[in-house]
Each structure stands twice: as structure tokens, then as C-alpha cells.
Amino acid sequence: MKLKHLWLTLTLGLIATPVFADDVLDTGDTAWMIVATALVMVMTPAGLALFYGGMSRYKNLLNTLAMTLVSYCLGSIIWIMWGYTLAFGTSQGGIIGGFEHLFMAGIGVNSLTGTIPTYVFALFQMTFAGITVALVLGSIVDRMKFSSWIVFAILWITFIYCPIAHWVWGGGWMGEMGALDFAGGNVVHINAGVAGLVLSLVLGKRIGYGKEAMFPSSIALTALGAALLWFGWFGFNAGSQLAADGVAASAFLVTNTSAATAALVWMFCEWIVTGKPTVLGIASGVVAGLVSITPAAGFVNLPASLIIGLVAGALGYFFVGVVKHKIGYDDSLDAFGVHGMCGVWGALATGLFANPAITEGKAGLFYGNPGQLWTQLISILATATFTAVGTLIVVYVTKALTGGIRVGRDDEIQGLDSNLHGERGFEIA
Amino acid sequence: MKKIEAIVKPFKLDDVKEALNEIGIQGMTISEVKGYGRQKGHKEIYRGAEYVVDFIPKVKIEIIVESERADQVVEAIQKAANTGKIGDGKIFLSTIEEVIRVRTGEKGKNAI
């Protein structure tokens, strides 16, 4: 019996041997990518929602959760209708994808992308679109109209996220130029951070910003949210290899290392400067470390991830704890400070530390390829410029369509939970 | 009749309650309040944003007793709530005109 099995396996194995390795489904890769997609999904409506919700004020907790939830829902629907094809359709001059996959046209159960079904690939990418627009929220909670947020999210995913995703991952010019962005330093974090900054500048500061105390509703929720983000980020980074292999394992390793390092560094910075190690600081450090390792995850080795995390923790703390207060803009939950700044650091670090021993042919400055740093710099500047200008246009279009993007004064003071949603986050008797 | 209002540190409430039980006080009303006096507030820092918390949580205890017992009650509260540190609270004493029990309509001493 055993021999017969062996014979069968061998024969089937031979028959299944592909002419082109890429055209055959790999069940291991597929299984991992389905799980990875679910991991990234949980980052938005659970991880980010709690992370941001806990930091927003008690009267705006539900509004923050609602905006995060609808971001993911809108991202899901837009992606299967026109987002996927704009990002991953046949490249039109390296700028944007073609329309051949509108409503997922031309993709069936047998379609493959690499070694996994195209459905899985498209879903995995969909979760990235959802979280990126949701990240922008961090700059503007407590003061934006819910209707305006919905319109903004639809326009922003379509006109800002999809082109940049195409440039980097969909066969566009940035990827062709050789810019390295493993899991979304440019596409996700710099993009969302800069967009958040632009949106927060147009919206203006919250009433009472800098004068009255704005206590987070629950640091406990924020800490739990950071833990869920960390958990989901394994899918985000290790999943971006699109395969269950050694590089995915390495990405997993460096992701965890960078997050842990940055959390400790942020905590010690606070402890030294202000005298107390805060839970919010530890949670923020986790996210800073995760953001920074994102573009580098599949390219750098373990020692590099320690340095990336070390710098991320200090940079994040210094930027949101010191620089922001000196400049005086109101980035409510620091989407720009954490995602924008640490995203830039991660993209540059990729240009420094990319090691050909991890992914063949991808080398940074320290491995004999100084040009990579320059390429990374161009990709950062191009992303930031396009996002800044594009987001500004999207904001003004949104403003025109929804008759202003800011909530009324009374609503802002009384709280968006009761005035916009008719609910309360807590019932404490 | 006298009303004794005592504002004490929240973690001292149980000590005060026991001390009052020992001298035979059989009822009281408490509320969670916030305020500040010489103790002032404290600072909290969230990502570099410093907020001063002026109002500190305290517990307010209200007791109504016959006038002749007031001094004894005040003394018991003062001893039980004392930690020797700034922020131990205050005790206020005032005269009450009338007490009425809702269930029976009894008035004065019998209603306490």
C-alpha cells in the first residue's frame, strides 16, 4: 500500500511539474496568504479602531470607531468595483492600471497571481487599501463631519491610494525605477501620514486645542488596539512576501524585533524626559517600530531591525512629544508624527540596510549600492508630493460636495457620539 | 439637630464608616465629589501634551445627628480620616431645622 502511495505521489508530482513555476498554485502559499489576509483585516476595524478610539475623547469614541469601520467597508467595496483594476490592471504608462478588471471582470477561481489565486491576492491588497485610508483618521478625529469623511474616503482611495499602489506594486514607474517598499512604507504610511497632515491643516485645530485638557477616553483600549495591530502586522509584513517561505519568516522576525525595540526606546525616552513611563508611550512605540520596519521587512536582517526600531522609537517620541508642540498644528492622534515620520525613516533605512542575503539582488548603501538610498529618497519625495497635492484637491472637492467638512461648533463641544450618532460610548452608573 | 458634612480621601471612607459604626451612628449618605484646596492638582502627560488635573476625587459624607452628639461624631471622623498629609479634607458643621421620615411622616429626633 505504502509503495503504491509513493508511486502515485511521484507520478502526480511529475505530471504537475510546471513549465513556468509561477503558473502553478501552491497550497502552502495559498493557505498562508488566506490567513495573512484575515490578519491584516483585523488591524483596521479592531486594532486601529481601538488604538484610535481609546485616544480620542470620551465624547467622540464612537465617532472614531464609526469612521474606522466605514473606512474598511468603503475600501472593501471600492476595491472590488474599481480599485483593484486601477492598482493592478495592465499598466498605462506606469501611471495607473487599466480598466479590464472592473468589478473583478476576467478573474475566476482558476486565475493565479504567482502561486496563489488572484482572488486571494486581490483580497490581501484590499485590506491594505482599507487600513491606509483609515490611518488618515488619526489626524482629524474629534472635528470632521461623518458625511464628509465618507465622501473623502471614496475619493481618496480612488485618486490617491490606487495610483500610488500601482506605482509601487502594480508595475508602475516607482517599482520599475527600483524603489524598495516591501509592505507599504510609501504606499501606506507616508501616504496616510502626509494626507492626514494636509487634512488636519485644512480642518483647523480643535476648539480649545492647547488650552483645555483633552484626555484620551481609555488608554486601556489603545493598548489593546496596539496589541491587535502588532498581531495583524505579521500578516501585513510577512504576508507581503506572498509566499510561505524563508523571506516571509525573516520578515516576521524583523517585524517583531523592530516593534519591541521601538516600544522600549519610546518608553525610556519618556521616562528620562518627563519622569514617567506611560502605557500610551509603550503602545505608540510599538506602532512606530512596526511602521518603520514595514518597507524594509523583506530586505533587511536582524541587526538592522534592531537599529531601525531603535531610531523609530526615539524619532516617534521626539516628533510627537516635542516637535509637534513647538510647531503647533493639531494632528489629533499623530497619524503624521508616527506614520509619516517613521514611514520616511523606514523607507530611508531600507535604502541603507537592504541586504542581498535576504532578498537576492536587493542591496542598500551598506551592501555596496549607494544609489539605492537616492532611489528611496526620490520615491519618498514623489509619494509625499503627490499625496499632499492630491489630498488637497480631494479635500476641496469633498468640501464642495458636502457643504463644508467641519462639524458645527455645538456638535464639536457636546460631542460627536451623541450629536452625530445618537449613542454613547460608555454607560457608567 | 446638626448636619455634619465631611470631605475625605476616598480610600479613607471605610475607616470613617467603621469609626462611626463604633459610636453608634446608623446611617449616612455619601457622594463622590471632586475639588481642590491646598493640595492642588497633579499633572498628566499624554505624548508630550501636559494637562493639569485640578479637581481631585474625594468622598463627601453627610450625617444628621442630635446636636449633643455632633462633637463626638466630628472627633471620630477627624481621627479616622487623618493621614497627616495635605489633602485629608474638611468637616463642616451646620444646624438643621427639621427632619422628616418619608415613610411615616415622623419628625425631629424620631426621624433621624
CATH number (domain holding residue A64): 1.10.3430.10
Summarize pLDDT for A296-324 with one digit per residue, the tens: 999 999 999 999 999 999 999 999 998 99
- Which residues in chain A have their CB less than 8 angstroms from residue B47's CB? 280-281, 284, 320-321, 334
How much is the average pLDDT of A356-374?
A: 96
Q: Name the residue of chain B whose CA is nearest to A316's CA.
A: B47
- Answer whether A324 sits within 8 Å of B48, measured CB to CB: yes
Put simply, whether B53 touches A (Cβ < 8 Å) is: yes
pLDDT digits (tens, 9 = 90+) for A155-195: 999 999 999 999 999 999 999 999 999 999 999 999 999 99
Kindly state whether residue A3 falls inside one of the protein's structural domains.
no
In a domain, A338, yes or no: yes
Residue A19 scores a pLDDT above 50: no
- Cβ within 8 Å, pair B47-A321: yes
Query: In the structure, what pLDDT confidence band is assigned to residue A12 with cuts at 50, 70 and 90?
Result: very low
Backbone torsion region of residue A90, taken as left when φ is above 0, otherwise alpha when ψ lies between -120 and 50, otherwise beta: beta
**Half-sphere exposure for A326 (CA within 13 Å, toward CB):** 7
Interface test with A, best of B44, B46, B52, B53 (most A CBs within 10 A): B46
B52–A280 C-beta distance less than 8 A: no
pTM: 0.88
Name which of A343, A351, A298, A345 is nearest A178 in CA terms. A351
Residue in chain A nearest B44 by alpha carbon: A215
Q: Which residues from A are below 8 Å from B48, CB to CB?
A: 274, 320-322, 324-325
Give the distance from residue A333's alpha carbon to the nearest chain B alpha carbon, in angstroms.
9
Q: Which fold has domain B2-111?
A: Alpha-Beta Plaits (3.30.70)
In a domain, A423, yes or no: no
Residue A426 inside a domain? The answer is no
Residue A279 predicted with pLDDT over 60: yes
Residue A10 banded pLDDT, cuts 50, 70, 90: very low
A423 by Cβ neighbours in 10 Å (0-12 / 13-18 / 19+) ranks as exposed
Contact between chains at B49 and A325 (C-beta distance less than 8 A) = yes
Cell numbers describing residue A75: 475600501
Least-confidence region, from A26-30, B45-49, B70-74? B45-49
Cα–Cα–Cα angle for A153, A156, A161, rounded to 5 degrees: 120
β strands within chain B, DSSP E: 2-8, 29-35, 42-46, 49-53, 56-65, 89-95
Q: How many CB atoms lie within 10 A of CB B1?
A: 18
Task: Name which of B47, B48, B51 is nearest A215 (Cβ-Cβ).
Answer: B51
Question: Does the pLDDT at position A107 exceed 70?
Answer: yes
| 8-state DSSP, B85 | S
Q: What is the DSSP letter of B89?
A: E
* Contact between B46 and A321 using a beta-carbon 8 Å cutoff: no
* CA dihedral for B89, B90, B91, B94, sign (positive or negative): negative
Q: Which three cell numbers stand for residue A287?
A: 506602532
Q: How many domains does chain A have?
A: 1
Candidate from A214, A216, A320 with C-beta closest to B48:
A320
What residues of A are in contact with residue B53 (Cβ under 8 Å)? 213
Q: Are A266 and A316 in contact (CB under 8 A)?
A: yes
A100 assigned to some structural domain: yes
- Evaluate if residue A6 carries a pLDDT over 50: no
**d(C-alpha A223, C-alpha A332), whole Å:** 17
AA letter at A379? S
Kindly identify which residue of chain B lies nearest to residue A212, measuring between CA atoms: B51
Instruction: Name which of A20-29, A81-90, B65-74, B90-99 the model is least confident about.
Output: A20-29
Number of C-alpha atoms within 13 angstroms, CB side, residue B61? 29
Contact A322 B48 (CB under 8 A): yes
Q: For B51, which residue in chain A has the nearest alpha carbon? A: A213
Which residues on chain B are in Cβ contact (under 8 Å) with A280?
46-47
All cell numbers assigned to A123: 483580497
Q: Is residue A427 part of a domain?
A: no
| Closest-CA residue of chain A to B47 | A321
Average pLDDT of the segment spanning A283-291: 98
> CA separation (Å) from A362 to A18, A45, A351, A356, B23?
27, 34, 9, 5, 82
Range of the domain at A142: 27-205+215-415
**How many CB atoms are located within 10 Å of the residue A291 CB?**
33
- Is the residue at A422 inside a domain? no
CB contact under 8 A, A325 and B51: no
Lowest mean pLDDT among A18-22, A287-291, A411-415: A18-22
Return the SS3 of B91.
strand
pLDDT at A427 over 50: yes
Residue A8, domain member (yes or no)? no
Min distance A278 CA to chain B CA atoms (Å)? 8
A410, A285, A333: which is closest to A57 by C-alpha? A333
Domain boundaries, chain B: 2-111
Given CB atoms, is B52 within the 8 Å cutoff of chain A?
Answer: yes
CB contact under 8 Å between B46 and A334, yes or no, is no
If you measure CA to CA, which chain B residue comes closest to A213?
B51
